[in-house]
Structure 1
Amino acid sequence: MFIDGLSVPARSGRRMTVTDPTTGQAFETVPLGGSEDADAAIVSAMRTFEGWKRVPMTERARLQKACAQAMRENAESIGAVLQRELGRPLAGCVSEIARSADLLDIYAEEGLRLRAAMPLGSAPGERIVITRDPVGVVVAITPFNYPITLLMFKLGAALIAGCPVVAKPSEETPLSTLMLARLFHDTGLPAGLFNVVTGDRALGEALVAHPVPRKVAFTGSVPAGKAIAAACAGTMKRVTLELGGHSAAIVCADADLDRAAAAITRHGFANSGQFCYRVNRVYIERPVYDAMLERLAAGAKALTLAPAGGQGDLGPLVNDRIFANSESQIADARAKGARILTGGTRATGPGYDAGCYLPPTLIAEATPEMLIMQDETFGPVIGLAPVDSPAEALRLTNESRFGLAGFVFTRDLATGLALCEGIEAGSVWLNDIRRSSHHVPFGGMKESGLGREKGRYGVESYLEYKTMYLSWEEAL
């Protein structure tokens, strides 16, 4: 682990394995931390907090920008480690490092734009100052799918706000986070400002239950997020929770079908479907249903799997548990009468047998009772359903406990705006799908989470308002 500027073992001496998803073989071990390790990391962070919160914003921004540049300069080496533990093709891993560095820069710039306020309505001999204080030590718990990006969502905002971070990466992808902590320390971050502890769920529970941290920032599943929120209530910790998604796309009869199919295919199958705001289900108006299916199938079939040691567009799913969810949703759809348009069965053969490879899968004639239209998949599977009107599509989109993202395709601007405003989700795209911007808020409604990350909105979530009433005897 990385605590107080040093690489340290777990107090228990125990370790856990890290597996290459393309081969199924363990290739490294990391410490299996427990409550004593959680305490050591938090105590280190608390010591550092006393000094870091007094560091001028300009110096915090300078250090953060230096760390961002160090990420760019080491993107290939960090990306190679990430590729080994995640299984995603190398180009995507290197791109993740570079894009995450951009977010660090943006957070640094947002920090420089923070302001205090002095209202003019004070009484004679009094001034009121409204300022912002850092919340304190932050626990950041991140998943495997975009481990560096989702860590930067939290770390970049916390550091510039004046908060030290204790990070617990996913058990599947701890190595890239550990590498990053060492890199940032060597770049100049003070010891204890960014600690990394590795372990399983028990370690996460110890971090959340600890009385010192004042905030927990978590990206992961809905059940885990609910458990964290309940545990944080005991000590009134703040929470930012970016949880599951089951995002729907609506394709109207007048849409540019080629553009819609390209966007849905690109977004729905990126990272083998292993991210929260991907297209999970699509509602298509009947007059263009068959034509849209034809285009989507052509796009899905054009994507290639990257075998162990080989090249391709998509890697394997990270482990058997994640694969099993896709498998069960496909089986459920088959049993309930759906048509498997593409994919649907595990890829086998040389280079594939040892990994959880699933070709891009499209499920046509999906109906509301099917799991694919109800629950997050986190795999390369998309449900497709015909609808009779945009209003029906909107109703079905919102009949979900999730509300992370939505997507609309129509040439009619009035219809598009009405659908975008009507979708109950934190982010909505019209007529294209691109990655979420670093400058604007990102997060979900309903069971997709609490709070927002990115841009000034992310920084503000690590600050407390403080009102100071300053009085003196009038001199004149």
Structure 2
Amino acid sequence: MTNSLKTVSPIDGSVYVERPYANTAEIDAALAAAKQVQATWRTTSVAERARLCLAAVDAFIARKDEIAKEITWQMGRPIRYAAGEVAGFEERARYMISAAEKALAPVQLPEKTGFTRYIKREPLGVVLIIAPWNFPYLTAVNAIIPALMAGNTVVLKHSAQTPLCAERLMEAFSAAGLPTGVFQYLHLSHDSTEKVIQSPVINYVAFTGSVPGGAMVERTAAGRFIGVGLELGGKDPAYVRADADLDHAVETAIDGAFFNSGQSCCGIERIYVHESLYDQFVEKAVALVKSYRLGRSDDPETTLGPVVKASAADFVRDQINEAVALGAMAHIDPSSFELDKAGTPYLAPQVLTNVTHQMRVMTEESFGPVVGIQKVSSDDEAIALMNDSDLGLTAAVFTRDIEAGVAVGEQLECGTFFINRCDYLDPALAWTGVKNSGRGCTLSTLGYESLTRPKSFHLKKPD
């Protein structure tokens, strides 16, 4: 087994970052430090925690241009969009900091003669956060800030594709004056990650990644009686009703499908369109996708960058080829995108019609620049197809009739329901999934519940 990680940039195949994996002594030292300092950190006031976390946010965004460039080179997002992740990080961090005082306040109970009763929310201890590469800061911040604000200490294990993200966060917290050991990162191999999960020092694991990865976390933590938060895959649907604003639906749903080259757990991967709008929707969607510019991520003119690695591109190509073999129609000629080439991360976007749920492209997470569009004749048909998945992260409906849209949303099996928008996390709303999209909750005041434990106080007053 190699003793170091190598981040190969999808832009040009070069090794952009190389770091040694943490050894046993370094891991043990980090866990010991996290456990020791947590005893002090948990007694720090919420106001002081907020001051330090806000200072870290300020230090982080002060380097936004540098950080955006690193995102581009590590995972391939076009440079014209990369700074948006820094802005999103700031929005979520500041919101969760502002929500902490209310979320962590003791639960006051009705007066009972002769007794004082209340419930406090206490930190769990040491939280291990395992973050992915596709939105490396936006996913990590969902757990890091509330974990720290709740009085936990944090050990971050970031993806080997985006190791600099862990280092930049460490630098921001250090610049803010966060006490040593409260926030740390470790570059870990898969084997070492499992050993850390099994460590008695770890009191909670927050994981964002694939369904198989989530299963690994659950298996590894089994028997330890600790909480596990899992934000896993998506095969998120959109439904365009007959009364939808067609141009808005096309622009929004297609952007939701192809932004970040489709590498978003809550991206739109399948679209159902009412038969009265279907032909127009497809025509406009194809024209929009054809206008994308596939290119190097460091080129400001690029609107569609490479996927993260060649194997990911080949996976999507296999889905597309299988669908076409089963009767789907591909509307985009890959040769019209000059950089598209098998064996590379550069993959032309694709729009498929004549699709069915017998095709993997409509049932298996693609995580790439492809979307299938299927014709439906009613709300009931759309609902049945949207729910025909073992994943349930988000779902979107495009309609001018909000009441009718909500009626559809009430029947959909998902964690977040949108009307006339998609592929967005509002930090004031709970972020959660159903079925194989995971369990647990981040963001909103509810996001603090899994990072704390209730402790009841039942006090009898002297006679």
* Alignment TM class, shorter chain as reference: over 0.9
Question: Following TM superposition, by how much is the alpha carbon of 1:142 offset from its aligned partner in structure 2, in angstroms?
Answer: 0.8
Distance 2:92 2:334 in 1: 36
Question: Following TM superposition, by how much is the alpha carbon of 1:460 offset from its aligned partner in structure 2, in angstroms?
Answer: 2.4
Distance 1:250 1:57, change over 3 A: same
Question: Following TM superposition, by how much is the alpha carbon of 1:187 offset from its aligned partner in structure 2, in angstroms?
Answer: 1.7
1:325 aligns with 2:279: no
Question: Following TM superposition, by how much is the alpha carbon of 1:77 offset from its aligned partner in structure 2, in angstroms?
Answer: 1.4
Distance 1:285 1:326 in 2: 26
Question: Following TM superposition, by how much is the alpha carbon of 1:424 offset from its aligned partner in structure 2, in angstroms?
Answer: 0.7
Indicate the residue corresponding to 2:109 in structure 1.
119
Does the CA-based 8 Å contact 1:346-1:357 persist in structure 2? no
Indicate the residue corresponding to 1:409 in structure 2.
398
Indicate the residue corresponding to 2:156 in structure 1.
167
Indicate the residue corresponding to 1:61 in structure 2.
50
Provide the aligned C-alpha RMSD in A: 2.0
Distance 1:268 1:26 in 2: 29
Distance 1:387 1:255, change over 3 A: same
Question: Following TM superposition, by how much is the alpha carbon of 1:47 offset from its aligned partner in structure 2, in angstroms?
Answer: 1.2
Unaligned residue ranges in structure 1 (runs of 5+): 1-11
Distance 1:91 1:112, change over 3 A: farther
Distance 2:406 2:7 in 1: 46
Cα deviation code 1:163-202 (max 9, x no counterpart): 1111111111111221221221122111111111113322
Residue 323 of structure 1 aligns with an amino acid whose one-letter code is A
Distance 2:398 2:297 in 1: 37
Does the CA-based 8 Å contact 2:124-2:152 persist in structure 1? yes
Distance 1:103 1:414 in 2: 29
Could you list the runs of 4 or more consecutive aligned residues of structure 1 that deviate by over 6 angstroms after TM superposition? 351-354
Cα deviation code 1:96-153 (max 9, x no counterpart): 11220221111111112231134234452x3222111001100000111001111100
Aligned identity (percent) is 31
Residue 427 of structure 2 aligns with an amino acid whose one-letter code is H
Query: What does 1:45-56 align with in structure 2 at a 5 Å threshold?
Result: 45-56=34-45
Q: Secondary structure at the match of 1:422?
A: coil
Question: Following TM superposition, by how much is the alpha carbon of 1:35 offset from its aligned partner in structure 2, in angstroms?
Answer: 4.8
Question: Following TM superposition, by how much is the alpha carbon of 1:265 offset from its aligned partner in structure 2, in angstroms?
Answer: 1.2
Distance 1:206 1:324, change over 3 A: farther
Question: Following TM superposition, by how much is the alpha carbon of 1:430 offset from its aligned partner in structure 2, in angstroms?
Answer: 0.9
Unaligned residue ranges in structure 2 (runs of 5+): none
Indicate the residue corresponding to 2:79 in structure 1.
90
Query: What does 1:61-210 align with in structure 2 at a 5 Å threshold?
Result: 61-113=50-102, 114-124=104-114, 126-210=115-199
Distance 2:333 2:420 in 1: 26
Distance 1:265 1:359 in 2: 15
Indicate the residue corresponding to 2:326 in structure 1.
336
Question: Following TM superposition, by how much is the alpha carbon of 1:355 offset from its aligned partner in structure 2, in angstroms?
Answer: 4.4
**TM-score scaled to structure 1, two decimals?**
0.92
Distance 1:414 1:122, change over 3 A: closer
Question: Following TM superposition, by how much is the alpha carbon of 1:347 offset from its aligned partner in structure 2, in angstroms?
Answer: 5.1
Distance 1:254 1:134, change over 3 A: same
Cα deviation code 1:238-273 (max 9, x no counterpart): 011110000011112222211110001111101000
Q: Secondary structure at the match of 2:386?
A: helix
Q: Secondary structure at the match of 1:144?
A: coil
Distance 1:168 1:404, change over 3 A: same
Q: How many residues align?
A: 461
Does the CA-based 8 Å contact 2:397-2:405 persist in structure 1? yes
Distance 2:337 2:197 in 1: 39
Q: Secondary structure at the match of 2:18?
A: strand
Q: Secondary structure at the match of 2:285?
A: helix
**TM-score scaled to structure 2, two decimals?**
0.95
Query: What does 1:202-241 align with in structure 2 at a 5 Å threshold?
Result: 202-241=191-230
Question: Following TM superposition, by how much is the alpha carbon of 1:289 offset from its aligned partner in structure 2, in angstroms?
Answer: 1.4
Indicate the residue corresponding to 1:376 in structure 2.
365
Does the CA-based 8 Å contact 2:57-2:172 persist in structure 1? no
Cα deviation code 1:211-258 (max 9, x no counterpart): 221100000011111221232231011011110000011112222211
Indicate the residue corresponding to 1:396 in structure 2.
385
1:316 aligns with 2:306: yes
Residue 407 of structure 2 aligns with an amino acid whose one-letter code is A
